[in-house]
Amino acid sequence: MCLEQKGMWKNMKTELDKCLAGEYYNCHDTIFLEYKKKARELLTKYYSLSYDQKTEKLGVLKSLFGNIGSNVSVGSPFICDYGCNIFLGNNVSVNMNCTFVDCNKITIGDNVLIASNVQIYTATHPVELNERLTSDWNPDSGEYFCRTYALPVTIGNGCWIGGGVIILPGVNIGKGSVIGAGSVVTKDIPENSVAVGNPCRVVRKINGEKDES
C-alpha cells in the first residue's frame, strides 16, 4: 500500500464516527450490533433485580450508561438502544416506562426529573423518499435499506420533563425549564421556560412573565 493510500485509510471515518458526527451511517455495522447486544443483556439483568437491590441495580446502570452521577434512579421497565451514549448528572429521576433511543448522545444535567413514558429520540431519517432510501441497496450488503443519521439531545440542569413527553433528535432544553405532559418537543427550548403542546412552544417564563411569541 502506497503512502497516499495509507493516509487515506487512516483518515477514513468509521461508522461510529459518522454516527456521532450527525452524518448518514450504517446502523447495522458490527459496532452497533455489539452495543445493542450488551445493552439488552444488561437491561435483562436490571429487570431481574428486585426493587430493594439498590447496590446491584446501580452497578448495572454504571456498566450500561456512558456516565451516571450520584443519587440517580431509573424505573423499570426502561428501554434504550446502546446505553453507552446516555450521560446522567447528579440527582436524576427517570420514572418507569421511558425509552431513550441513544444512537447519538443523550446528556441530562443535574437535578432533573423525567416522568413516566417519556421518549427521547436521537435517530432519524431524511423526509424525502428518494433521499431516505439507500441507493442501489443490496440485501447482502449489510447496510440498512434506508439512510439513518442521529443528532444529540441535551436536557439542562434543573429541568422537569412531564409524563408522555416526546423529545425529537437534535433538541436542546435549557436549564430550569419545564415541559408539559404530552408535549412533542421539535425544537430547542430556552432556559427557565414553561413549554407545552404539539409542537411544543414556550407559554411563559418561570419568573411569571408571559411569552408573547
Q: Containing domain of residue 59, as a range?
A: 15-205
Catalytic residue among 40, 45, 125, 201: 125
20 is a domain residue: yes
pLDDT band, residue 22 (cuts 50/70/90): very high
21 is a domain residue: yes
Question: Taking all residues of the chain, what is their mean pLDDT, rounded to a whole number?
Answer: 91
Q: Among this protein's residues, is 28 annotated catalytic?
A: no
5 is a domain residue: no
Q: Name residues whose C-beta falls within 8 Å of residue 49's C-beta, 6 or more positions apart in sequence.
A: 56, 57, 60
Residues 181, 162 contacting (CB under 8 angstroms)? yes
How far, in Å, are 12, 46, 92, 132, 157 from residue 108 at the CA level?
A: 31, 21, 8, 30, 7
CATH number at residue 55: 2.160.10.10
Residue 160 has pLDDT above 90, yes or no: yes
1 is a domain residue: no
pLDDT, tens digit (0-9, with 9 covering 90-100), for 38-58: 999 999 999 999 999 999 999
In the chain, the number of structural domains is 1
Q: pTM of whole model > 0.85?
A: yes
pLDDT, tens digit (0-9, with 9 covering 90-100), for 72-86: 999 999 999 999 999
Q: For the residues 141-152, what does the mean pLDDT come to?
A: 87
How far, in Å, are 74, 80, 180 from residue 92 at the CA level?
A: 8, 17, 18
